Structure 1
Amino acid sequence: MDKKANKKYFLNILLVLTLGAIVIYLTMKDELQASLKALMSASPIWIIFSFVLMGVYFLLDGMNLYTFGHLYKKDYNYKQGFTNAISGTFFNGITPFSSGGQFAQVYIFNRQGITPANSASILLMAFIVYQSVLVLFTAVIMIFRYQVYSAVYSGFFHWQ
């Protein structure tokens, strides 16, 4: 890489970190001290575990987008799917009502050689997979922890 490209990457990283710091400050300015106190008193093991789980989420989301992207473009690779996944998460995080992630992902898919119509199809398939996994996890939890849920949500589980 040449110096111009390195400078571009450095400026982009600096921009993302600066915007991230501003967003964190604006969203937490009233409870910043309490949040920092809670973070400092948290167990380092659980913080590391949280980061590992978040990494696993990004890897699986990238695999999901790669799998569906590969259906429309045979030379679509995992790195492209992973890039699209983390970009979608980023844009969901910085836009009001988490509304910008899918638009950014369609744009990124378009830049990666997948048409917007096919991109929308990929994102819908990924959403269906996500919702299916949520329903499956909930069903498993409700089956194996039925006693707890029936006690807490007695009106919901009332059979007649």
Structure 2
Amino acid sequence: MTRKNKIAVAVMIAIGVAIFLWEMRNVDVHAAWHTLLTLRLQWLAVAFLVILLSYVIEALVVQIFVAHEGEHLTFKSAMRVPLIEQLFNAITPFSTGGQPAQLVALMQSGVEGGRASSVLLMKFIVYQFMVLINFVFTLFIGLKHLAAQFGPLAWLIVFGFTIHLLVIAGLLLIMYQYRFTKRLVAFGIRLLRPFVSAGRRAAWQATMDAKIDTFYAESVHLKQEKTKVIRAALLTFVQLLLYYSVPYFVLLSFGVPHVNLVHVMVLHVMIVMIISLFPIPGGAGGAEYSFKALFATFMGPAQLVLAMLLWRFITYYLGMVCGIVALAVVPDRLESTKPQKS
């Protein structure tokens, strides 16, 4: 890790500690201690197992997309990719550091740069589609639970959903209306003429054209790799369901009665939508506020703050810790069963 990354990790940990201390200011310490002593550790262990299993499934998706003409990535090397992604997503605004970090991790394993970029782009496309499907699926089956619970947070959820929908719409436009998309982007850049210099507009146009060309080429590849895409999509769907179920097991560890898995998963999906809107790495502040607002009806103040801390550690800080460990692991090189040319 660079010195800058180490500072970013330290800052995010400090922010997390500060938020927890602030939330604990009005909580009875004795009640909190008693709550910790009565935790049902078996359910907490399940919560940890579920999040780790979600990382394993993402590693399998990486293996699926890397496998090509007798070449494959070992599980050890594939596992580094989602863990390193977790670390760099956690310390960069809007999780922008995850993609470049994954690219480096794949190249360290011997995957050629262009091919590694292709793998990550296919993985990104599948992930975005599955996020949208999960959102619609959980919202549809859990709609009856949501009537009056969200309040002002509903607007943030709608905004987050709209952004994801626009991303998917953009991906579909490039995949199926390639030339129209390029004309649409060019028209949008021309509208900036009164505000942006000609040189900068030309640079933006060239950059966007290159990105659209790259994505279109990968979309053609995706259409030719239907079996891979279907397998990766199913695994990603399961991965997301596991991730969304983490708060359910955290609530069970606190002995919350009559907790409904679907209801809790729907709430967690909404929290994730809200977090995606915050530019601060990890959605710090927004994540904790959303959790408290949406799960306040499940438990008392002491339990709520402790549940928020455990949920945040499992879904955010654990990924950072695992990512740091993964950085220290030397990856295996890409393996090949292709016959060597004489």
TM-score (norm 1): 0.66
Matching of residue 110 in structure 1 with residue 99 in structure 2 = no
Aligned counterpart, 1:90: 87
Which SS does the other structure have where 1:29 is aligned? helix
Alignment of 1:56-67 (within 5 A): 56-67=53-64
- The TM-score, its normalising length taken from structure 2, stands at 0.34
What's the CA shift for 1:136? 2.7
> Structure 2: which 5+ runs fail to align?
151-157, 159-342
3-state SS of 2:110 partner: coil
- Equivalent in the alignment of 2:50: 53
CA RMSD of aligned residues (A): 3.6
Partner of 2:56: helix, strand, or coil?
helix
Answer 1 or 2: higher relative contact order, Cα 8 Å, separation at least 6. Answer: 2
Is structure 2 residue 23 aligned with structure 1 residue 34? yes
Instruction: Encode CA deviations 1:74-96: one digit per residue, 9 max, x unaligned.
Output: 13222211111111111211234
Q: How many residues align?
A: 139
Q: Distance in 1 between matches of 2:56 and 2:74?
A: 13
Identity of aligned residues (%): 22
Contact 1:72–1:118 (8 Å) recurs in 2: no
Distance 1:52 1:33, change over 3 A: farther
Contact 1:72 1:114 in 2 (8 A): no
For the pair shown, which has the larger CA radius of gyration, 1 or 2?
2
In structure 2, relative to structure 1, the CA distance for the partners of 1:30 and 1:138 (3 Å cut) is closer
Q: For 1:72 and 1:104, locate their aligned partners in 2 and report how far apart those are by CA, in whole Å.
A: 25
Q: Does 1:144 align with 2:112?
A: no
Cα offset, 1:125, TM superposition: 1.3
Distance verdict in 2 for CA 1:81–1:39, change over 3 Å: farther
What is aligned with 1:135? 132
Distance 1:72 1:85 in 2: 23
Contact 1:58–1:86 (CA under 8 A) maintained in structure 2: yes
What runs of 5+ residues in structure 1 fail to find an aligned partner?
1-11
Residues 89, 98 of structure 2: 8 Å contact kept: yes
- Helix, strand or coil: the match of 2:65? helix
Q: Check conservation: 2:66, 2:72, Cα contact below 8 A.
A: no
